Copies of this chain bind each other. A is one copy, B any other.
Amino acid sequence: MQLRIPGPTPCPPQILQAMGGQMMNHRGPEFAGFLSSITDRLKQVFQTRSDVFLLTASGTGGMESAIVNTLSPGDKVLSVSNGFFGDRFGDIAVAYGADVIRLGFEWGKPVDPDAVTGALRANRDIRATLVVHNETSTGVTNDLGRISTVIKASGSLLLVDAISSLGCINVPVDSWHCDVVVTGSQKGWMVPPGLAMVSVSEEAWKAHAQAKMPRCYWDFSLIRDASQKGQTPWTPGISVCYALDAALDLMLSEGLEGIFLRHARLGRKTRDGIKALGLSVFPDEHCASDTVTAASGSAEVDLAKLIRVLREQHQVIVAGGMGGLSGKIFRIGHLGYVDDDDIESFLQALDKAIPQAKKT
């Protein structure tokens, strides 16, 4: 079975083996050394000198933590969205009582930094801006570097969902002045789901000190206090930590530059491959993601049937469209533990599946 969804991603054998490690005392000296070593290496991948924390949760839990730790009910928040996960980020802020201004872009198009500037100028009291770096639902990578420049010029906090980009595509957290950045173990990290990883800037800490949204499980203060004792406040997903430990060794031995180049190469190979088979890339190609490709069908291909044929006859699992894109696109994950051979064998399967999935 070839799992070509944008997460959970396949795990390499040494990471699956690490998952089978016996339990340890999460309040003992062994765990303290282990947590510190993981955190130090995470900071290298986040390219940050700020705090990086582990949460036992999915990436969505990490998004919730970014909001509830930095904001108060009634705070004005700019929710920038060009897809399903951008909308979700805004929804979480609404659930906690923020005054959310939605700046939406067509799904498949990138976020326009000038429009963000306009929204920030029209609303001078925005406390935080929510941005998805890599919109998994549409296969679009937003230009976070440029977006960050306009946001930070306005004085707003920048909260970033980098769940499907960090560790695959360049996300220099400090040089882009991102205040809270969230990612998830089951994406480019090649690790099973169960951990969200979040960075917290100095400016985010200042906001945290004033932030009144209710929180306990996500509370960065409690997490920081525990981390100073080499612990997490709540029992951590120890096995996923074992896997992340193994993954960080693999990632740092490949090197960030090597990882970014590999994802860029495989993204292009995937896009070129599907176009050669008569399908098209859903988003504008200049903003197409190097971790997930959203593919549109052609007039002859029944996409629901294609997804089924790929699974049942070719042992390849791809993801469907989300929300309004259901039935209109399918999505191919090429992040984490993936190399040229995987994309070539995927494209071979797709080549066979397309004629089997003609509309009748």
Interface residues of A (CB under 8 A from B): 1, 3, 5, 7-11, 16-17, 19-28, 56-61, 64, 91-92, 95-97, 184, 186, 192-194, 213-217, 219, 233-240, 311, 317, 319-320
Contacts and interface: CB of A to CB of B under 8 A. Distances in A.
A193 to B, nearest CB: 5
A167 to B, nearest CB: 16
Copies in the complex: 2
Which of A26, A95, A234 gathers most chain B CB within 10 Å? A234
A318 B27 CA distance: 10
Nearest to A236: B193
A27 B184 CA distance: 17
A219 to B, nearest CB: 8
A51 B233 CA distance: 28
Contacts of A234: 57-61
A17 B20 contact: yes
28 contacts: A1-B22, A3-B22, A3-B23, A5-B25, A8-B235, A8-B238, A16-B21, A23-B192, A25-B317, A25-B319, A26-B193, A56-B58, A56-B194, A58-B217, A59-B234, A59-B235, A60-B216, A60-B233, A60-B234, A95-B214, A96-B214, A97-B214, A186-B235, A186-B238, A192-B237, A192-B238, A237-B240, A239-B239
A240 to B, nearest CB: 6
Contact of A214 (B193, B214, B233): B214
Contact of A26 (B8, B16, B24): B8
B25 A11 contact: no
A242 B189 CA distance: 20
A96 B21 CA distance: 37
A60 B26 CA distance: 15
A292 to B, nearest CB: 14
Given A16-B21, A57-B57, A61-B56, A239 B95 contact: no
A246 to B, nearest CB: 12
Given A8-B238, A10-B22, A57-B234, 19 more contacts: A3-B22, A8-B235, A16-B20, A16-B21, A23-B192, A25-B319, A28-B317, A57-B57, A58-B234, A58-B235, A58-B236, A61-B234, A186-B238, A192-B239, A193-B237, A193-B238, A194-B240, A214-B214, A239-B240
A54 to B, nearest CB: 12
Contacts of A317: 25, 28
Contact of A25 (B3, B26, B215): B3
Given A20-B19, A56-B57, A61-B57, A237 B11 contact: no
The 10 closest A-B pairs by CB, nearest first: A194-B237, A8-B23, A58-B234, A60-B234, A192-B239, A16-B20, A20-B20, A58-B235, A19-B19, A193-B235
Contact of A216 (B5, B95, B214): B95
A217 B218 CA distance: 11
Contacts of A20: 16-17, 19-20
Which of A23, A91, A317 gathers most chain B CB within 10 Å? A23
A64 B218 CA distance: 10
A31 to B, nearest CB: 10
Given A57-B217, A319-B25, A194 B239 contact: yes
Contacts of A96: 214, 216
